[in-house]
């Protein structure tokens, strides 16, 4: 028998029946005029949806949990789980937000390949297009731009990725804002499919009109889970990392660092120092490039796996009439040696 260990992390998103307002006709495949941002994404709460990721201490997904293994508390009060699923490859709409600022020139070619792998892994999980999965792409440098609107055809996004090059400043917060306000919606959002954003960048921002607190709240209100794939090279300081972590952790996602430990399995240093650093893996060599690609491939694989491998819990708050701007949720799992990741909480009423 397991000894009970409560691992508490916040996690939820407010869901409204009216949130799935369509700007696209899936049956006919024809686009309708997009709704104004405030109409398309505004919601009120009648139900709360909680995407939850559970891993062991080594980061491997725990896939065999049942409804009885979870406990939900809303502002400290236990809630009745009305819906539970652990199905893999649950429908999602994924926003690929790509940092095209000057800071990402160094490893851009490698990250460009990895981004294409991520698109294929999440939009074609069985090596063929799947209408359950949709995506869109926003590139951000000095300004944020919706480069590919919501589509179930990954080739449209892949084609644009192949053509872009970084250069300019970084308007990360404006890109998140645009993802939550200025794209075509898919029928059923945000319950099925869910909303996910993957930021491939270093988290810095020097060009946005919006600020971090604004877009964190906007993402929470719009039921978005944010993941980060950091592009910071080994040995470099990154002032933007706290921003990336805040966006991810506040919405139930996480940040992966593909270049962080590329020397972890190498002992010793070069006998002759070089300009780029006294490392055993030298810039420009096959070993250096191979280590970078291994790190990126693993990070992309982990992110894709988490997006498509989550438990989904839903409940109707027992005390939702209590006047509180932001409500915190606790997710408890009655198993030892596991980690639970979910959102910090939700907003019970639209702004």
Which domain CATH number covers 267?
3.40.50.410
Domain membership flag for residue 161: yes
DSSP assignment string, 7-70: --B---EEE-TTTT--SEETTTTEEPPPPPHHHHH----SEEEEEEEEEETTS-B-----GGGE
User: What contacts 87, CB < 8 A, 6 or more positions away?
Assistant: none
Shared-domain flag, residues 139 and 118: yes
Shared-domain flag, residues 224 and 200: yes
Shared-domain flag, residues 57 and 171: no
Phi, psi of 224, deg, nearest 5: -95, 130
Domain membership flag for residue 3: no
Domain membership flag for residue 20: yes
pLDDT at residue 323 in the model: 64
Tokens 């293994």 correspond to 69
Domain membership flag for residue 174: yes
Within the chain, which residues score under 50 in pLDDT? Answer: 1-44, 264-286, 351
Shared-domain flag, residues 220 and 284: yes
**Order of strands across the sheet with 224-230?**
144-151, 133-140, 92-99, 194-201, 224-230, 255-256
Q: Domain total for the chain?
A: 2
pLDDT in tens, 144-181: 999 999 999 999 999 999 999 888 999 999 999 999 99
pLDDT at residue 300 in the model: 76
User: How far apart (Å, rounded) are the C-alpha atoms in residues 177 and 237?
Assistant: 26
Closest CA to 199 of 123, 257, 159: 257
Phi, psi of 154, deg, nearest 5: -60, -25
The strand pair at 338-341 and 24-25 is best described as unpaired
Strands (E) across 180-306 are located at 194-201, 224-230, 255-256
User: How far apart (Å, rounded) are the C-alpha atoms in residues 134 and 122?
Assistant: 9
Shared-domain flag, residues 171 and 27: no
User: How far apart (Å, rounded) are the C-alpha atoms in residues 234 and 171?
Assistant: 23
Shared-domain flag, residues 96 and 84: no
Domain membership flag for residue 4: no
Shared-domain flag, residues 221 and 293: yes
Shared-domain flag, residues 189 and 297: yes
pLDDT at residue 233 in the model: 66
What does each C-alpha distance from 271 to 268, 284, 287 come to in angstroms?
9, 17, 17
Inter-residue contact 222 to 42 (CB < 8 Å): no
Shared-domain flag, residues 174 and 64: no
Domain membership flag for residue 262: yes
For the record, the structure tokens of 241 come out as: 């990392």
Shared-domain flag, residues 75 and 176: no
Which pTM value belongs to this model?
0.78
Q: Domain span at residue 276?
A: 92-308
pLDDT at residue 2 in the model: 31
Shared-domain flag, residues 63 and 197: no
User: What contacts 178, CB < 8 A, 6 or more positions away?
Assistant: 138, 144, 146
Domain membership flag for residue 218: yes
Shared-domain flag, residues 286 and 250: yes
Domain membership flag for residue 321: yes
pLDDT at residue 286 in the model: 45
């Amino acid at each position: 028998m397991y000894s009970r260990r409560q691992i508490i992390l916040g996690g939820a998103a407010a869901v409204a029946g009216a949130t799935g307002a369509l700007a696209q006709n899936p049956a006919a495949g024809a686009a309708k005029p997009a709704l104004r941002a405030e109409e398309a994404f505004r919601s009120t709460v009648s139900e709360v949806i909680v995407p939850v990721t559970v891993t062991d201490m080594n980061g491997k997904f725990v896939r065999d949990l049942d409804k009885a293994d979870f406990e939900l508390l809303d502002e400290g009060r236990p809630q009745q789980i009305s819906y539970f699923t652990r199905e893999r490859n649950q429908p999602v709409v994924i926003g690929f937000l790509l940092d095209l600022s000057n800071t990402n020139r160094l490893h851009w070619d490698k990250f460009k390949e990895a981004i294409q792998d991520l698109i294929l892994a999440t939009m074609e999980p069985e090596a063929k297009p799947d209408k359950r999965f949709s995506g869109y792409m926003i590139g951000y440098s000095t300004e944020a731009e919706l480069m590919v609107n919501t589509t179930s055809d990954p080739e449209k996004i892949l084609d644009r990725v192949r053509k872009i090059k970084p250069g300019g400043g970084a308007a990360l917060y404006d890109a998140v804002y645009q993802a939550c306000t200025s794209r075509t919606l898919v029928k059923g959002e945000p319950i099925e499919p869910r909303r996910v954003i993957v930021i491939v960048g270093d988290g810095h921002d020097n060009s946005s009109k919006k600020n971090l607190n604004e877009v964190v709240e906007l993402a929470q209100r719009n039921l978005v889970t944010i993941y980060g794939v950091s592009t910071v090279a080994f040995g470099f300081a990154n002032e933007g990392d706290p921003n990336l972590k805040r966006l991810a952790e506040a919405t139930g996602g996480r940040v992966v660092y593909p270049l962080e430990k590329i020397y972890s399995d190498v002992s010793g240093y070069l006998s002759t120092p070089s300009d780029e650093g006294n490392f055993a893996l030298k810039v420009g060599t096959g070993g250096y490039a191979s280590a970078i690609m291994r790190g990126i491939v693993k990070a992309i694989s982990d992110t894709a796996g988490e997006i498509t491998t989550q438990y989904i819990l839903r409940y109707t708050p027992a005390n939702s009439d209590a006047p509180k701007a932001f409500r915190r949720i606790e997710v408890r799992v009655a198993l030892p040696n596991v980690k639970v990741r979910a959102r910090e909480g939700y907003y019970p009423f639209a702004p």
